[in-house]
């Protein structure tokens, strides 16, 4: 590392990213592409990305939106139980993973899986195992909102046991129960967001409601946040950064029926640097932000250096009509330079 006041990150990766489509894609895609070398792109558009043609077309729209930024969109497919080996083999070179959503559990997930009968899922998941395609899962039931993720852990375990060669990524985990599950199954991995390392439910709804901190999975208890922090700060080898940066227009957030999602893409690296520095764990940030993901997914992102410095930065109140986390507040780190190659 350079001096104590600067931090250099090589090829940072965002392993869970929403770029949306249309005007929103055009407005916010560069906020990730400026500072990250690549990201796992979520497929829950309307309609969801379910065919080779849709994957190719969406990738092209992303590349158009990011212009000449050095950034690889690692594409995913929206999971359907009817996917067979031949279909997935034809897509193997186009996708990095497949994303499974329980039906209706989060934004644009109505076409997801209802029930988790192993035999119904077996043909698609065995094909994925054979083709070494990782399975990313939004792991929540439709139970009481604070218990949904913990209730899903037995489903993770059932899948991990039934398909031991399948890499299963527990997406945006928020509970100690999920962290503990990592130790029990060799083929379970996880992403952790920035906001779940920082907030609990009290920050969202303990006083005046904070709509721009409302997300799914909902923020949990202090002991859950502590478990996530320990996993990230210690460079747990099965944990990766995935922002789940989820942009919504201001009018959709500051409204009755507030949309779920926290927009962190423009400030993620700066705040992570501040967080890891505060805890004396800067040496572990490269593993959390890039090295673990490269090893787990078997990817090699383009070379890119991000130099951050300990210099106050006031977060803009809006990026392309989207309100970011910490809007209008001052954070401790700024991006000094971005170097490709």
Q: Where are the domains of the chain?
A: 13-267+279-284
pLDDT at 3: 45
Sequence length of the chain is 341
Whether omega before 38 lies within 30 degrees of 0, making that bond cis, reads no
Give exposure, 155-183, as e/b (b: 16+ Cβ within 10 Å): bbeebbeebeebbbbbbbbbbbbbbebbe
Q: What is the mean pLDDT of each run of 10 residues along the chain (341 residues)?
A: 74 98 97 98 96 98 98 97 97 97 82 87 97 97 95 97 98 98 97 98 96 97 98 98 97 95 98 97 98 98 98 97 98 96 80
- Which listed CATH number (2.60.40.420, 2.20.25.90, 3.20.20.140, 1.10.760.10) goes with 13-267+279-284? 3.20.20.140
**Neighbouring-strand partners of residue 99:** 78, 136
pLDDT at 106: 79
pLDDT at 2: 41
Q: Which residues are catalytic?
A: 244
Contacts of 153 (CB under 8 A, 6+ apart): 139, 177, 178, 181
- Mark residue 15 as left, alpha or beta (left: phi above 0; alpha: psi -120 to 50; beta: remaining): alpha
pLDDT at 146: 96
Dist. CA 11–CA 305, nearest whole Å: 6
CB 322 within 8 A of CB 28: yes
Q: Model-level pTM?
A: 0.96
Place of tokens 């799914």: 216
pLDDT at 1: 40
Tokens coding 239: 């944990």
Contacts of 181 (CB under 8 A, 6+ apart): 153, 156, 157, 170, 188
């Amino acid at each position: 590392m350079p001096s104590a006041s600067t931090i250099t990150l090589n090829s940072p990766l965002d392993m869970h990213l929403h770029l949306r489509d249309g005007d929103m894609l055009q407005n916010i895609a560069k906020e990730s592409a400026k500072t990250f070398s690549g990201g796992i792109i979520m497929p829950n558009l309307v309609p969801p990305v379910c065919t080779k043609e849709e994957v190719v077309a969406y990738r092209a729209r992303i590349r158009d939106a990011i212009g000449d930024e050095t950034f690889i969109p690692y594409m995913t497919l929206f999971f359907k139980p009817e996917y067979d080996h031949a279909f997935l083999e034809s897509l193997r070179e186009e996708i990095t993973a497949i994303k499974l959503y329980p039906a209706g559990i989060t934004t644009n997930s109505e076409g997801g899986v209802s029930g988790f009968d192993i035999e119904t899922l077996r043909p698609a998941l065995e094909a994925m195992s054979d083709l070494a395609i990782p399975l990313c899962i939004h792991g929540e039931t439709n139970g009481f909102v604070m218990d949904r993720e913990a209730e899903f852990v037995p489903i993770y375990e059932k899948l991990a046991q039934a398909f031991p060669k399948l890499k299963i990524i527990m997406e945006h985990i928020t509970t100690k129960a999920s962290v503990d599950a990592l130790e029990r199954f060799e083929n379970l991995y996880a992403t952790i967001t920035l906001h779940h390392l920082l907030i609990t439910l009290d920050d969202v709804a303990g006083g005046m409601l904070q709509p721009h901190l409302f997300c799914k999975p909902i923020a949990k208890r202090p002991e859950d946040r502590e478990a996530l922090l320990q996993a990230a700060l210690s460079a747990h080898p099965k944990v990766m950064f995935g922002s789940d940066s989820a942009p919504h227009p201001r009018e959709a957030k500051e409204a009755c029926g507030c949309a779920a999602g926290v927009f962190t893409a423009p400030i993620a690296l700066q705040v992570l640097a501040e967080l890891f520095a505060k805890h004396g764990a800067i040496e572990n940030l490269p593993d959390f932000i890039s090295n673990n993901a490269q090893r787990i997914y078997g990817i090699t992102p383009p070379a890119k250096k991000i130099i951050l410095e300990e210099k106050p930065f006031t977060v803009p109140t809006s990026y392309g009509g989207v309100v970011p986390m910490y809007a209008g507040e001052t954070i401790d780190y700024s991006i000094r330079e971005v170097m490709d190659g």
